[in-house]
Amino acid sequence: MRLEIGNFSVEDIVFGEETTYDDGILTINKEEALEVVKEDEHITEADLVIARPGEEKRIVPVKEAIEPRYRVDGEAVFPGVTGKLESVGDGRTLALKGCSVLAVGQHWGSFGDGLIDMSGEGAKYTYFSQLVNVCLVADTDEEFERHEQQKKNHAIRWAAHRLAEYLGSAVKDLEPEEVETFDLEPVTKRSQEINDLPSVVYVMQPQSQMEDLGYNDLVYGWDANHMLPTLMHPNEILDGAMISGSFMPCSSKWSTYDFQNCPTIKRLYDEHGKSINFLGVIMSNLNVALEQKERAAMFVQQIAKSLGADAAILAEEGYGNPDADFIECFVALEEAGVKTVGMTNECTGRDGQSQPLVTLDEKADAIVSCGNVSALIKLPPMERVIGELEALARDGLSGGWADDEKLGPSVKEDGSIVMENNSMFCGDRVLGWSPKTMKEF
């Protein structure tokens, strides 16, 4: 499979009479864009707000992030979600780089939502402070979700995907400034020179624990709770096959933008044929019951062995109960002779003194920590809030609270906040571009 991603660099975004792209400027016809958003009758209010790097803006509650794209063949950017089901990962897709569409709650947040600061101390905690963001700020009539902690916000999230597809169409008739090519030969058709290199497989564990469907990550529009571990071509993941879910505490979340731009996949591509033989991606799952976890690990082990993997990178979306899946899979790979490196965050408590993962094993002896979800973050007020700041404390966001006997409320009267890293939108960046480093005290 050969995927070409034609890139257009977005330096700024403005509103105007037509939705166009010219010389680094994306112009949006807001009225037309909102018509795309309001195709879902459940959306009762909606607006678009631009948030640029360095601006005194705080965005919360953020539910999802998507890179605007357009498929040259005219088919859906997100098959099974924004259009009919068909395979992706082959052909050419156009991408607006340096920007994203953010789905933001106008009045209500939920457990899996997070916060982005576009400047100051908070900006360093999330990748999205570096992008020019089109914030879709919306509300819905989904009353059944109002007081349910694990809110889906289906209408807002899927409207953001439609919006990203609409914005991507601005470049449909243009030639890209640069083209990234991702071309991976079938495993059985590779040269002897490549086959002599260490063979590496990437094992991804997207969130799929919720048995009540609609909260989990999606695979071609299919709830990942239904799936067993399967081999996927890395191009599929880069080209819209994976959609982020709403369940995960936010710093642990993999947004759709993260799937579209997965740094670990891109780095494995860079090393393919040089230092490694990149075999592809085993897309696994996360489960609740022990037997389910063992079954998934068994499947991952079998696929890795069948491919002849010498080594694996194992990435977990989440923490707590999913740690058991992570370690079970880690051990199964090691027992099969597949040397494994894990990537995950930790939950070590606000003081950093607790056990980092719920379960551990001596065989899991090479783990990259991407941060402590419980670490406290204190941030000053911002000039403008996009969304509703009160949601951080009121609506059960995983890192905020209404009151704390020592720290008081998350949201202070002057607009400053204290929260756990848990609420930083995609803050731990387990898929490979975390800037965090370890410190010893």
Mean pLDDT over residues 24-30, rounded?
98
Pairing of strands 242-243, 25-28: unpaired
Mean pLDDT over residues 261-286, rounded?
98
Residue 145 in this model has a pLDDT that exceeds 90: no
pLDDT, one tens digit per residue, over 79-135 is 999 999 999 999 999 999 999 999 999 999 999 999 999 999 999 999 999 999 999
pLDDT, one tens digit per residue, over 303-358 is 999 999 999 999 999 999 999 999 999 999 999 999 999 999 999 988 888 899 99
Residue 434 in this model has a pLDDT that exceeds 90: no
pLDDT of 381 reads: 98
What sign does the CA torsion over 74, 7, 279, 341 have?
negative
Residues near 237 by beta carbon (within 8 Å), at least 6 away in sequence: 204, 259, 262, 265, 281, 283
Structure-token pair, residue 155: 């209408």
How many other CB atoms sit within 10 Å of the CB of residue 180? 16
Cβ proximity of 225 and 208 under 8 Å: yes
| Residue 328 to residue 439: CA distance in whole angstroms | 28
pLDDT of 352 reads: 84
* Mean predicted lDDT score pLDDT of the chain: 95
How many other CB atoms sit within 10 Å of the CB of residue 247? 24
Pairing of strands 242-243, 277-283: unpaired
Residue 148 in this model has a pLDDT that exceeds 90: no
| Residue 212 to residue 223: CA distance in whole angstroms | 10
| Residue 16 to residue 216: CA distance in whole angstroms | 36
Strand partners, 60: 387
Order of all β-strands in the sheet with 199-205: 230-232, 277-283, 199-205, 311-316, 339-346, 367-372
Cβ proximity of 309 and 279 under 8 Å: yes
Residue 8 in this model has a pLDDT that exceeds 90: yes
Structure-token pair, residue 208: 């799929």
Range of weakest confidence among 15-24, 143-152, 318-327: 143-152
Mean pLDDT over residues 5-14, rounded?
98
pLDDT of 441 reads: 63
Tokens 């609506």 sit at which residue?
395
H or E element that contains 254: none
Give the CA diameter of the chain.
Answer: 66
pLDDT of 275 reads: 98
Mean pLDDT over residues 224-247, rounded?
96
Structure-token pair, residue 109: 């947040």
Pairing of strands 12-15, 25-28: parallel
CA 343 to chain centre: 15
